């Protein structure tokens, strides 16, 4: 056997197994796992290192206008570079439809933004804010045929929100084609109502952002989203779950035979509402939605991570700079409701979980791989091409030094941001080399890839195992949908 590249002597981890072997790569594909592979054009010595599937960052906002119109600071170049330095080899940002906009146009626009720039392979989730008849009947099927097999909807934000009835239309269309629907679940009314009252009283500091987005708003919307999805027996992914009660609804729905999945994010595991108490405008750095919560909730989310409630752990990277282009666009000391929601994190996502989760014994290395890579590949239709180290898979590999300790600084990040919410954290375990289809993207702390090197990924339908047409609804007593009727 001849190899273009052999990674030698490392410890390989998949979502299931940890073992020592060399990895042989040929034409961008993993073609051999064995001890002592020879005949390599190039060799990486991974002795003492971990050889992991490259991370798949499936929840990030790149080159996207925010709900308030501002553009993220990261484009597909800086965003994918930062992702790569964080151990990722694939990104799946969003392609967002504005009201009145054709989905065809949306896809073209985002192709133009991504193709020339991304250093990593990529796809999009399609955000649907205007599910007209044409969108539902023509454009979503077209997008699906083009390999966009996940749609996202919002239950909040006036410019993005879809009604429950629209959500049913989207869910049932997704079900028909085999797409997975994702949802930002917060009750819009509770939030708007609270924001109005708070602002009326002059309570505009960052700390009131958390007050205005109560846990109850998330829990209600999660419950409603699950009700709608289960009613039509469609799968649903609740993104960025930030509450214990919300996470429990997700877990319990699965016990009831419903195909409900959950995701949480580093900010909910590592930060707290008290971070919003820093004197404004500093506190605005920590404004995101759902907002940061308290210590008890944080502990509960760790328990859910261990218990398997969440299939995904994503950054929700939403890079708005701490200047007039981003967080401070409405002034140097903006009221919380004029602050772009979100924080950067694409580069810190995996290292934080490794340091705090794996090294502190909270989760296993295989669970780490599942949460940062394999599960996303499965849920979003790119497994086993991506998300694992196996024969025939793309050689998308992150080599980690489990012993390296760094102190996090904004300067150390490779995104276009001027702050990181994790400034000063001491983190052990960092990716040192990242390969994409066998090619170096990051190596020895240097960027090795060129803009546009990433490829668009045509994704497969949502895996319907345990969910075939024949069985649909059989095990979901909540479904009154009745294929026999409709």
| Binding to its own copies, residues 286-315 (CB under 8 A) | 299, 302-304, 306-309
Please, what is the minimum distance in Å from the beta carbon of residue 34 to its own copies? Answer: 4
Of 412 and 482, CB closest to its own copies: 482
The CA-based angle 374-386-433, given to 5 degrees, is 90
Please, what is the minimum distance in Å from the beta carbon of residue 248 to its own copies? Answer: 6
Please, what is the minimum distance in Å from the beta carbon of residue 323 to its own copies? Answer: 30
The CA-based angle 288-379-222, given to 5 degrees, is 45
- Judged by CB under 8 A, does residue 202 bind its own copies? no
Q: Using CB under 8 A, which of 6, 7, 15, 435 touches its own copies?
A: 15
Bridge partners, residue 181, by sequence:
151, 236
Burial of 251 (0-12, 13-18, 19+ CB in 10 A): middle
- Judged by CB under 8 A, does residue 485 bind its own copies? yes
Of 110 and 462, CB closest to its own copies: 462
CA–CA separation, 357 and 428 (whole Å): 11
CA 20 vs. chain centroid, Å, equals: 29
Please, what is the minimum distance in Å from the beta carbon of residue 415 to its own copies? Answer: 31
Of 114 and 221, CB closest to its own copies: 221
Of 93 and 283, CB closest to its own copies: 283
Q: Using CB under 8 A, which of 363, 376, 395, 408 touches its own copies?
A: 363
- Judged by CB under 8 A, does residue 198 bind its own copies? yes
Residues of this chain, 229-248, that bind its own copies according to CB under 8 A = 230-231, 247-248
Please, what is the minimum distance in Å from the beta carbon of residue 74 to its own copies? Answer: 31
Residues of this chain, 69-128, that bind its own copies according to CB under 8 A = none
* Candidates 276-284, 331-339, 381-389, 400-408; binding stretch for its own copies (CB under 8 A): 381-389
Q: Using CB under 8 A, which of 176, 193, 333, 403 touches its own copies?
A: 193
Place of tokens 């990722």: 88
Q: How big is the site for its own copies, counted in residues (CB under 8 A)?
A: 92
Residues of this chain, 20-39, that bind its own copies according to CB under 8 A = 20-21, 24, 31-36
- Judged by CB under 8 A, does residue 364 bind its own copies? yes
Of 332 and 485, CB closest to its own copies: 485
* Candidates 98-106, 223-231, 394-402, 426-434; binding stretch for its own copies (CB under 8 A): 223-231
Judge contact between 83 and 346, C-beta under 8 A.
yes
- Judged by CB under 8 A, does residue 227 bind its own copies? yes
Residue 398 vs residues 34, 284, 331, 470: alpha-carbon distances, Å: 18, 33, 41, 40
Residues of this chain, 125-184, that bind its own copies according to CB under 8 A = 163-165, 167-169
Of 69 and 308, CB closest to its own copies: 308
Residues of this chain, 246-285, that bind its own copies according to CB under 8 A = 247-248, 251, 254-257
């Amino acid at each position: 056997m001849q190899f273009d590249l052999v990674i030698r002597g490392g410890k390989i981890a998949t979502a299931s197994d940890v073992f020592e072997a060399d990895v042989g790569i040929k034409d961008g594909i993993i073609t051999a796992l064995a001890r002592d592979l020879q005949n390599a054009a190039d060799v990486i010595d991974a002795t003492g290192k971990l050889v992991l599937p490259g991370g798949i960052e499936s929840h990030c906002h790149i080159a996207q206008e925010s709900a308030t119109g501002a553009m993220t600071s990261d484009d597909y170049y800086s965003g994918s570079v930062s992702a790569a330095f964080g151990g990722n080899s694939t990104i799946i940002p969003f392609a967002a439809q504005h009201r009145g906009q054709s989905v065809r146009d949306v896809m073209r626009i985002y192709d133009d933004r991504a193709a020339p720039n991304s250093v990593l392979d990529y796809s999009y989730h399609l955000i649907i804010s205007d599910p007209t008849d044409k969108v539902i009947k023509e454009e979503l099927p077209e997008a699906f045929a083009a390999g966009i097999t996940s749609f996202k909807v919002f239950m909040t934000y006036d410019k993005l929100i879809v009604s429950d009835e629209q959500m049913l239309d989207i869910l049932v269309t997704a079900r028909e084609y085999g797409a997975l629907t994702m949802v930002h679940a917060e009750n819009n009314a509770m939030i708007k109502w609270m924001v109005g009252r708070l602002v009326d009283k002059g309570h505009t500091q960052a700390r009131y952002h958390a007050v205005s987005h109560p846990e109850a708003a998330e829990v209600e919307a999660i419950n409603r989203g699950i009700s709608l999805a289960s009613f039509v027996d469609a799968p649903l992914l609740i993104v960025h779950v930030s509450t214990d009660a919300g996470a429990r609804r997700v877990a319990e729905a699965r016990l009831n035979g419903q195909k409900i999945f959950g995701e949480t994010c580093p900010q909910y595991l590592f930060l707290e509402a008290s971070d919003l108490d820093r004197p404004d405008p500093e506190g605005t750095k920590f404004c995101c939605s759902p907002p940061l919560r308290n210590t008890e909730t944080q502990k509960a989310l760790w328990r859910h991570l261990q218990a398997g409630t969440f299939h995904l752990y994503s950054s929700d990277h939403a890079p708005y700079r701490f200047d007039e282009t981003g967080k401070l666009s409405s002034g140097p000391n903006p009221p919380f409701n004029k602050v772009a929601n979100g924080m950067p994190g694409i580069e810190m996502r995996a290292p934080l979980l490794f340091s705090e989760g794996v090294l502190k014994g909270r989760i296993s290395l295989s669970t780490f791989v599942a949460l940062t890579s394999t599960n996303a590949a499965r849920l979003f239709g790119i497994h086993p091409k991506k998300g694992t180290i196996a024969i025939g898979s793309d050689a998308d590999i992150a080599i980690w030094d489990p012993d390296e300790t760094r102190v996090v600084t904004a300067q150390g990040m490779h995104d276009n941001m001027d702050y990181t919410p994790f400034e000063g954290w001491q983190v052990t375990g960092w990716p040192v080399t990242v390969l994409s289809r066998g090619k170096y993207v990051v190596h020895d702390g240097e960027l090795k890839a060129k803009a546009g090197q990433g490829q668009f990924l045509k994704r497969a339908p949502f895996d319907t195992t345990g969910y075939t047409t024949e069985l649909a609804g059989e095990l979901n007593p909540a479904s009154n949908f009745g294929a026999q009727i409709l």
